[in-house]
Amino acid sequence: MALLLAAVSGSREQAAQDKRRPRARRSPLEAAADCIIYNGPEPLDGSTAMARPIASQLVVALGLLLAACAAKPTPYQAAQGGFGYREQQTEENRYRVSFAGNSATSPQTVEDYLLYRAAELTVQTGHDWFQMVDRNTVQEYSGYGGSPAFGLGVGSGSNVGVGLSFPMFGGGGSGRYSADMDILVQDGDKPQDDPAAYDAFSVISRLQPKVLAGGS
């Protein structure tokens, strides 16, 4: 009997020490996740440990959602991750230039950046003006619908699902724009009677403030 009482007393002392032991600091998102997943007195079997991996998944999903909502327009840059400008020389004095923007980049900015790159390329190759031979602007849809949706599912046992979805139908939609053109680079003075001819230095001078400001 004495041994039993001693064991019970020791267990109580250990539990009291555990309560007094400071816990590691946790982020507000992790704390909020625990409140969503488990809201009640802490069980004796330590099963609240299951909430920790769930909280981690929730934090990751919320981070992705916030990143999607805070997208910035594609800056004037060489293509990175599919967004930016590219060029390809197709003949001795002929180039194909393109610019692709993300969903936060307006079509006007995409076309201005395309024109600016054409002028910049003309100067870089030692020429004075360029003639636009062909030009296309395309709107591409990665999805159609409203805002992204976040979902959290908890099944039997320790099965947990966290998802971030983008609706395909209903509620309007937005896409991303890309544009391309073929140009012929030339020397000398630009012909005044050709509406497809652009003075490279004049284009750079007029569009550079927008490029430096980051577009829209």
User: pLDDT per residue over 10-48, tens digit each?
Assistant: 555 665 665 566 555 655 545 554 544 444 455 555 555
User: What gap in Å lies between CA 65 and CA 160, rounded to an integer?
Assistant: 18
Say what the pTM is. Answer: 0.58
Residues 120 and 88 in one domain: yes
Residues 61 and 91 in one domain: no
Residues 63 and 89 in one domain: no
Residues 94 and 53 in one domain: no
Burial class (CB in 10 A: 0-12, 13-18, 19+), 118: buried
The pLDDT of residue 193 is 95
Specify the higher pLDDT residue, 131 or 54: 131
Q: How many CA atoms lie within 13 A of 164 on its CB side?
A: 15
DSSP 140: E
The pLDDT of residue 90 is 96
Residue 130 lies in a domain: yes
Residue 22 lies in a domain: no
DSSP 43: P
Residue 9 lies in a domain: no
Residues 201 and 96 in one domain: yes
pLDDT at 59 over 80: no
Query: What does the block give as tokens for 83?
Result: 């967004």
Residue 207 lies in a domain: yes
Residues 122 and 197 in one domain: yes
Residue 162 lies in a domain: no
Residues 53 and 131 in one domain: no
3-state helix, strand, coil in the chain (%, to 5): 40, 25, 35
Are 102 and 83 in contact by the 8 Å Cβ rule? The answer is yes
Residues 206 and 140 in one domain: yes
Residue 58 lies in a domain: yes
Residues 93 and 188 in one domain: yes
Domain that holds residue 50: 30-38+45-68
pLDDT at 185 over 70: yes
Strand partners, 182: 96, 134
Residues 118 and 195 in one domain: yes
Residues 56 and 93 in one domain: no
Number of domains in the chain: 2
Residue 6 lies in a domain: no
Specify the higher pLDDT residue, 210 or 65: 210
Amino acid at 26: R
Residues 62 and 126 in one domain: no
Residue 208 lies in a domain: yes
